[in-house]
Amino acid sequence: RMIIIKSQQEIDIMRESGKVTAYILSELKNLIRPGISTKDIDDFVEATILKYRMIPSFKGYNGYPASACVSVNEEVVHGIPSPKKILREGDIVSVDVGTTYKGYVSDAARTYPVGKIGEEAQRLITVTEQSFFEGLKFCRAGFRLSDISAAIQQKVESEGFSVIRDFVGHGIGRAMHEEPQIPNYGKPGRGPRLVPGMVFAIEPMVNQGDYEVRVLENNWTVVTVDGKLSAHYENTVVITDGEPDLLTLE
């Protein structure tokens, strides 16, 4: 049980992978509109990863059947793409993408508006992204792991939203999920001290209502218990001896 420190060569490979993940998330802004299916999103994600001769990290992971997770409205994470699930004006949709290159994984997610959305839905998306950047302020050598968690929770709750407890961020490298687990809540000043070469997937999952979630019958899709909206924002981040290095920013 240890945090694997990456060499500069390993980080260079992860950067190549991260560029493709970021490019896909950026292009999805143009693709996502009323009338497309969640499978259309997955098709684009998979085709683009393969075009760059990389590997969709999620496909086959614990039997997961697609290249992207596409989660609509009250779906929090791990939505399974379907040609029958059609996006409608006013929906919000979270897309999570993992790309493997030369054995190294990058992992990132965004939540998109579908057409014109409500003010509170937009505020949820904005606060979720902002909470990531609050956490990022502590992604520096010398801080403790839970300083990141506490900063994310503080931002989310100060805006009246709630942080998912059942799913967390994670170390990332040769495996999609490495040590440590990175909750999006907790007291500051706990856990390992950060050192250069650590690589983390920081991923706040934020609910409009209560933080409680349940898993659907398909054994994957996580939804809010109260049926209210949820948003997700994730990047792969390298701890350096200076500014944090974001590998998946478009």
Judged by the rule CB under 6 A, the positions of this chain that interact with ligand MF3 are 58, 61-62, 64, 69, 78, 96, 98, 107, 201
Q: Which entry of ligand MF3, Co ion, none binds 61, CB below 5 to 8 A by partner kind?
A: ligand MF3
> Could you tell which of ligand MF3, Co ion, none binds residue 185, using a CB distance below 5 to 8 A set by kind?
none
In the complex with Co ion, the residue whose CB is nearer, 198 or 201, is 201
Q: Is 107 in the site for Co ion (CB under 5 A)?
A: yes
Q: DSSP string covering 184-239, please?
A: S---SS-SPBP-TT-EEEE--EEESS-S-EEE-TTS--EEETT---EEE-BEEEE-
Q: How far is the CB of 109 from ligand MF3 (least distance, A)?
A: 6
State the nearest-atom distance from the C-beta of 234 to ligand MF3, in Å: 6
Nearer to ligand MF3, 9 or 62 (CB): 62
Q: Which residues of 173-212 are buried (b: 16+ CB within 10 A; e: fewer)?
A: beebebebebbbbbebeebeebebbbbbbbbbbbbbeebe
Could you say whether residue 229 binds Co ion (CB under 5 A)?
no
Whether 202 contacts 234, CB under 8 Å:
yes
Shortest distance (Å) from residue 114 CB to ligand MF3: 21
Q: How far is the CB of 125 from Co ion (least distance, A)?
A: 18
| Closer residue to ligand MF3 in complex, CB, 23/64 | 64
- Contacts of range 64-69, beta carbons closer than 8 Å, 24 or more positions apart: 64/220, 66/42, 67/42, 67/97, 68/41, 68/42, 68/95, 68/96, 68/97, 69/94, 69/95, 69/96, 69/109
Query: Which entry of Co ion, ligand MF3, none binds 98, CB below 5 to 8 A by partner kind?
Result: ligand MF3
The site partner of 74 among ligand MF3, Co ion, none (C-beta below 5 to 8 Å per kind) is none
CA distance 84 to 244: 40
Of 42 and 107, CB closest to ligand MF3:
107
Binding residues for Co ion restricted to 192-211, rule: CB under 5 A = 201, 203
Please report how close the Cβ of residue 47 comes to Co ion at its closest, in angstroms. 22
Q: Please report how close the Cβ of residue 62 comes to ligand MF3 at its closest, in angstroms.
A: 6
Closest C-alpha among 113, 23, 111 to residue 69: 111
> For binding to Co ion (CB under 5 A), which residues are involved?
107, 201, 203
